[in-house]
């Protein structure tokens, strides 16, 4: 059984497009610094989140302090070299918060795609052969590709130009208990690379 991901991509695109237009109308004077999906594909849930630059800065500062505290606590040990790379790779510092739950407009809108819930039921309960054939990560891997395609379509259709954007403006997604993946950076400051 091959799963058709195109209808899911189309549904996510249309719902995202509508949410962006609605947000732009409701919050025309709000500067946006980040748009990200929070995805829980096991249950077919997708939450659309918008952040503001002031909130993003505050979340990034808090995250940096938290990460630095953890690094001081764990990397000062004599045998810390054994796990230092893993600790630092999993908890890097960035200039935006690591979690969509901290966004100013967290869970602004949501989309439920029942076909994904049904796919999980097939994988987990009904068709062990299919589950073994596609392997662990099938759902998350395909949903990652779908989200990337949706974001590319939103950019191609100039949907983010409806918002009052910071420079730069980020677009991405997050899976449960993972850090945000940035898929695109838009509205770069006006300068030539290499100047």
Inside any domain, residue 70: no
What DSSP line would sit under 69-83, residue for residue? Answer: HHHHHHHTSTTGGGT
- Tens of pLDDT, residue by residue over 127-180, are 555 554 555 678 889 999 999 999 999 999 999 999 999 999 999 999 987 889
pLDDT in tens, 33-91: 999 999 998 889 999 999 999 999 999 999 899 888 888 888 888 888 888 888 787 77
Total number of domains constituting the chain: 1
Residue 73 lies in a domain: no
Decide if 167 is inside a domain: yes
Distances (CA, A) of 160 to 19, 22, 149, 180: 11, 12, 15, 19
Q: H or E segment at 185?
A: strand 181-186
pTM, rounded to two decimals: 0.85
Nearest to 102 by CA among 28, 174, 7, 5: 174
| 163 in Cβ contact with 32 (< 8 Å) | yes
Residue in the block written with tokens 């109308």: 25
34 found inside a domain = yes
- Asked whether residue 77 is domain-assigned, the answer is no
């Amino acid at each position: 059984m091959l799963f058709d991901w195109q209808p899911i991509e189309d549904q996510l695109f249309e719902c995202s497009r509508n949410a962006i237009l609605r947000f732009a109308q409701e919050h025309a004077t709000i500067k946006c610094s980040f748009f990200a999906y929070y995805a829980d594909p096991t249950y077919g849930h997708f939450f659309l989140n918008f952040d503001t630059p002031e909130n993003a800065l505050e979340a990034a500062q808090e995250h940096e302090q938290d990460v630095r505290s953890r690094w001081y606590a764990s990397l000062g040990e004599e045998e810390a070299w054994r796990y230092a790379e893993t600790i630092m790779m999993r908890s890097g510092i960035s200039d935006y918060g690591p979690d969509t739950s901290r966004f100013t407009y967290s869970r602004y809108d949501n989309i439920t795609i029942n076909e994904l819930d049904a796919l999980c039921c097939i994988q987990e309960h009904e068709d062990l052969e299919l589950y073994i054939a596609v392997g662990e990560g099938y759902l998350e891997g395909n949903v990652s590709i779908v989200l990337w395609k949706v974001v590319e379509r939103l950019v191609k259709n100039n949907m983010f130009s409806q918002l009052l954007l910071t420079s730069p403006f980020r677009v991405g997604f997050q899976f449960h208990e993972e850090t945000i993946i940035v898929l695109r950076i838009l509205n770069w400051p006006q300068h030539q690379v290499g100047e």
